Amino acid sequence: MKHIFLEIIAIIVSSVIASVTFWLVTPDKMLEAKIIIPTLIFILILLYGAVKYIFQLQEELKNNNQIKLPKLKTIEENYYIFEASEIFEPQSYCILYFIDKTKQKLALGIVETIIDSSHLLQVKILEDIDKDIQNKMLKNKEKIYLKPTITTLYVDKENIMQGAE
């Protein structure tokens, strides 16, 4: 919202300056170049800023409605550490996906804890994952995402495992 006001102010100020400049400068009047050139440069800078803010606002609004899924940070022992995310809570089921051009399910897991200091998600995998696949996951960790399913309060492990097959 702050960007909208800055854009409107920049457009109004540059419009007023341009209008006053061209109102003062009629064909029969001459202004010195030391006045007109800095004024025109100032107008161009304000218009550039306004256009830049418009595109930034458009991108911000486009990304504002999307939920960002956390990416894999590292694998430590039997735990998979993911980026911080507000859409997960402890003891909630989740699925690890490899998302590139297609979406491939890797494993089912539970968010065991949320690390206090960094808010990283510590996920315990409920299925066995081969060491080669783990190494491949670490090499492509920017493509490994965690997607929520349902909390453990509602479904036991056997039911969710049957639904995942």
Q: What is the pLDDT of residues 130-153, one digit of tens each?
A: 888 888 888 888 999 999 887 555
- Residue of 1 and 25 predicted with greater confidence: 25
Q: Which two tokens stand for residue 65?
A: 């409605």
Once rounded to an integer, what is the mean pLDDT over residues 158-164? 59
Q: What is the pLDDT of residues 47-105, one digit of tens each?
A: 777 778 777 777 777 766 667 889 999 888 778 999 998 888 898 889 999 888 888 88
Residues 6+ apart with CB under 8 A from 138: 72, 74, 75
- Quote the CA–CA distance of 130 and 91 in Å, as a whole number: 24
pTM: 0.54
Residues 6+ apart with CB under 8 A from 127: 107, 108
Q: What pLDDT is recorded for position 128?
A: 83
- Quote the CA–CA distance of 58 and 86 in Å, as a whole number: 24
